[in-house]
Amino acid sequence: MREIEIHEVPFDSPVAQRLITAALADLGARYGGSGDETPVDASEFAAPAGAFLVAHLDGEPVGCGGWRSHGDQGDTAELKRMYTAPQARGHGVARSVLAAIEHSAREQGRKRIILECGDRQPEAIAMYTSAGYERIPNFGYYADAPGCLSFGRTL
């Protein structure tokens, strides 16, 4: 069995930025453009307001994802920049990262997690729904964009 290790890293660290660049390239191939124009700031992914995680499979960085605080109540986390490299797909990396993100957000007092996903990501949609995420009204940068699907889950 291949070993998955997950570590929190700064959003602007070189390893995180390599994976984020790959994630945006993947989204760009699916949707065009740069992949995701949502404004993000590295400081949003630092405790206690957020976290960014990198997954290693057999020692190689192959996946990432993070959360940042959403809204004024302080109880909601927004999932951002989930990605698994193509060669690591099908090995449980994304599910492991998702579980670690949920755990991190819960530890920081978040009670709910939300996310935006595009309709050209059927594998992501399937994973989120099988993990208990349900459709919610669209929000955020792509709220009015065709093909935007938003999901949420109580932590």
The three-class DSSP label of residue 97 is helix
How many Å apart are CA 63 and CA 114, to the nearest integer? 19
Number of domains in the chain: 1
| Best CA proximity match to 67, nearest among 48, 85, 84, 90 | 48
Residue 71 domain-assigned? yes
Residue 44 maps to a domain? yes
Structural domain harbouring 82: 4-110
Which CATH number characterizes residue 66's domain? 3.40.630.30
Q: Does residue 33 form part of some domain?
A: yes
pTM: 0.95
Would 98 be classed as within a structural domain?
A: yes
What is the residue-level pLDDT of the chain in tens, covering all 155 positions?
Answer: 579 999 999 999 999 999 999 999 999 999 988 888 888 999 999 999 999 999 999 999 999 999 999 998 889 999 999 999 999 999 999 999 999 999 999 999 999 999 999 999 999 999 999 999 999 999 999 999 999 999 999 99
